[in-house]
Amino acid sequence: MLSILIPTYHYNAFPLASNVVSQAEKEQIPFELLCIDDGSNSELNSENHKINDLKNSSFISLKENVGRSSVRRILAEKAQFDWLLFLDADVIPKSNDFLKNYIQLINGDFEAIFGGFAYTSNYESSGKELRITFGKNREEVPGSIRNKTPYKVIISANFLIKRNIYTDGLNISQDNLYGMDYLFGALLKKHQIKIKHIDNEVYHLGIEANDLFLEKTKKAVETLAYLVRADKMKEHQNSLLKTYKFLKSMHFDTLYGKLSKMINPQLEKNLRGSNPNLFVFDLYRLGYLCQIMH
């Protein structure tokens, strides 16, 4: 029935694996759990090897880093069941009925189901304010809202999908790039995959410091630019790309890219501070996209 797939990199995935295996046993369903470390050679893998002691579970450590998309592909190809549940290693289910909530929908008229993200109220927030603010406002979105634009808020850290759709239908790129959820959303829309968003969240535990999150943000924007140039974003519901294309249609993109370089120090001061503004964050990302698209 269900293959639970966890890609990890330098992270202890055992608490997550233990949690979901316990839930699977409670539901008395046919299942397997596969976890692959993407060549991190981390000392934390001593903990991850404990996954092999869990029921129907296995942990594999790759010798070389192949990238997030490729690890997911490897996991999907090793899976033996028709439904794949992908979970990032740095999450934990919000509900003790997490698996049950997904299983109840398996026989419905859906090809992919997204459970959503949640954030606790007790993070150590000092120096991580931007990631927490972004997460709470842009990722912690109720399923009823996500369903209005189903291909927009695509968070691949927690979703269920039919195996044949993932391995054969979407032709997901194996590029080792950060920010490939942009492409995932576009592919789901292009192929009109029947998706449903529900309130079956996982708590996001791996919160990056402000500087690292800004660095990852720029890498994600670079990935978006690459996908646009490669003509892989024809169909999408991406707000950043829509705004960029509007500026370009008004012949204002080049000027805004130049202006953004001038005001970046002020923007980054806000984004690295204790009270980051998401409108400033959007201006920052848009400016960077305008810069690198020329």
Judge whether 203 and 157 are in contact, CB under 8 Å: no
Q: Which of 131, 144, 248, 151 is nearest to 191 (CA)?
A: 151
Mean pLDDT, rounded, for 111-118: 96
Residue 68: pLDDT band with limits 50, 70, 90: confident
Place of tokens 């399923």: 143
The pLDDT-based confidence of 248 (bands split at 50, 70, 90) is: very high
Mean pLDDT of the chain, nearest integer = 92
pLDDT of residue 170: 72
Give 76's strand partners.
none
d(CA 230, CA 248): 18
pLDDT of residue 28: 96
For position 190, what pLDDT does the model report? 86
C-alpha–C-alpha distance, residues 92 and 204, integer Å? 7
Is the pLDDT at 123 greater than 90? The verdict is no
- pLDDT surpassing 60 at residue 189: yes
- pLDDT computed for residue 173 by the predictor: 59
User: CA 7 to CA 88: how far, in whole Å?
Assistant: 6
Distance between CA 98 and CA 243 in Å, rounded? Answer: 36
State yes or no: pLDDT of 6 exceeds 90: yes
Domain architecture of the chain: domains with CATH: 2-116+155-206 (3.90.550.10), 212-292 (no CATH)
Taking 60 as the threshold, does the pLDDT of residue 174 lie above it?
A: no
Q: Counting Cβ atoms within 10 Å, is residue 277 exposed (0-12), middle (13-18) or buried (19+)?
A: middle
Contacts of 249 (CB under 8 A, 6+ apart): none
Per-residue pLDDT band for 66 (boundaries 50, 70, 90) equals: confident
What are the E-state strand segments in 26-88? 31-37, 57-61, 83-87
User: What amino acid occupies position 280?
Assistant: V
**What are 152-155's contacts with CB under 8 Å, separation 24+?**
152/185, 152/237, 152/238, 152/239, 153/114, 153/197, 154/114, 154/181, 154/184, 154/185, 154/188, 155/114, 155/116, 155/117, 155/181
Maximum distance among all alpha carbons in the chain? Answer: 60
| Residues 38, 68: Cα–Cα separation, whole Å | 8
Give the H or E element holding residue 196. strand 195-197
Residue for token digits 């020329």?
Answer: 294
The 10s digit of each residue's pLDDT in 197-219 is 999 999 999 899 999 999 999 99
Residue 35 scores a pLDDT above 80: yes
Give residue-wise pLDDT tens across range 137-162: 999 999 999 999 999 888 889 999 99
The 3-state DSSP class for residue 224 equals helix
**Strands across the sheet with 91-93, in order?**
91-93, 202-204, 117-118
